[in-house]
Amino acid sequence: MCRHLAYLGPPVPLAGPLFDAPHSLERQSWAPRDMRGGGTINADGFGIGWYTPDGALVRYRRDRPLWSLSDLPALAASIHAGAFLAAVRSATVGMPITETAAAPFAGDGWLFSHNGRVTGWPDSAAALPVPPRDLLTLDAPTDSALLWTLVRTRLRTGMPLDAALADVVALVSAAAPGSRLNLLVTDGTTIAATTCGHSLSVHAEPGRVLVASEPLDPSPAWQPVPDGTLLTATATTVNLRSVES
Ligand code: GLN
């Protein structure tokens, strides 16, 4: 069910977590270790968004398996970034396989990804307070795109990243109980993430932090994030608390 990751710290080549790490995102696309709730591989798309040194946001998405993107390893080796978010997708049954359905969703300087599914989709969407205009302009007719709209609406009011995720998890869990809602968002300075039904681990070192669905290497510094957690991290801090508090 999709795998995602986000990094903050000194600029590193994008190829590290995408291709070079022992359990890179590319490996997780065909040999994930901790798939829950259906799906065996993550072959339905790939995306990465990163911040340039002057703060601009660049995004690359495809509707194909990460392992099939033959030009990407060299590109990713040549691009260094100090903040990025990437994901591989396993489309939920009934949802389209298109580039626009691949995370990260992006806008206004934010990057967002969802690992999971909204129970009862698409009927359950009727119980969610989304203005029709936003519904009609979704990136794709998927639960993840709708969740991004709910998160973005809150961020635009000035709500902090973690509060926006917690608010959306509470809203969607009430409207569609049993939903799996591992959300991940960054503004290039802070990462916020939730664990609701899927795995997540965090690897913090002085001055850098990496959050990923599955550890990228055997380092004992990887800490599993318990289910029901709201994680907030910067390059120098990691905070875990209950997503319900
Ligand atoms: N439900 C989302 C989609 O189909 C996310 C899928 C996943 O986490 N595997 O895009």
Whether the predicted pLDDT of 157 surpasses 70: yes
Mean pLDDT of 83-104: 96
CA distance 127 to 106: 24
Q: How confident is the model at residue 193 (pLDDT cuts 50, 70, 90)?
A: very high
Q: Tell me what ipTM this predicted complex has.
A: 0.96
> What does 179-231 look like in DSSP terms, one character per residue?
-EEEEEEE-SS-EEEEESSS--EEEEETTEEEEESS-SS--TTEEEPPTTEEE
CA distance 117 to 16: 28
User: E strands, 92-179, where?
Assistant: 105-107, 110-117
Beta carbons of 230 and 242 less than 8 angstroms apart:
yes
Is the whole-model pTM more than 0.90? yes
| Ligand 1 touching residue 213 (CB < 6 A) | no
pLDDT at residue 37, rounded to an integer: 65
Mean pLDDT of 110-119: 97
Which homologous superfamily does the CATH classification assign to the domain defined by 3-242? Aminohydrolase, N-terminal nucleophile (Ntn) domain (3.60.20.10)
Whether the predicted pLDDT of 132 surpasses 90: no
| Ligand 1 touching residue 90 (CB < 6 A) | yes
Percent pLDDT > 90 in the chain is 87
Going by the DSSP 8-state scheme, the letter that residue 109 receives in this structure is T
Spacing, Cα 143 to ligand 1 middle (Å): 7
CA distance 222 to 131: 40
pLDDT at residue 245, rounded to an integer: 72
| Ligand 1 touching residue 114 (CB < 6 A) | yes
For 28-79, what is each residue's pLDDT tens digit? 998 888 867 667 888 899 999 999 999 999 999 999 999 999 999 999 999 9
For 173-186, what is each residue's pLDDT tens digit? 999 999 999 999 99
Spacing, Cα 6 to ligand 1 middle (Å): 17
Mean pLDDT of 83-90: 97
CA distance 17 to 2: 16
Q: How confident is the model at residue 107 (pLDDT cuts 50, 70, 90)?
A: very high
What residue spans define the domains of the chain? 3-242
Strands 180-186 and 80-88, sheet pairing: unpaired
Per-chain mean pLDDT for the chain: 95
Backbone φ, ψ for residue 58 (5° rounding): -120, 140
Spacing, Cα 53 to ligand 1 middle (Å): 31
The owner of tokens 């318990």 is 226
pLDDT at residue 160, rounded to an integer: 98
pLDDT at residue 171, rounded to an integer: 97
| Ligand 1 touching residue 91 (CB < 6 A) | yes
| 33-51: burial string, b at 16+ Cβ within 10 Å, e else | eebeeebeebbbbbbbbbb
Q: How confident is the model at residue 131 (pLDDT cuts 50, 70, 90)?
A: confident
Backbone φ, ψ for residue 118 (5° rounding): -95, 120
In Å, what is the CA distance from 143 to each residue of 93, 123, 159, 227?
11, 11, 22, 20
pLDDT at residue 36, rounded to an integer: 74
Judge whether 196 counts as a catalytic residue: no
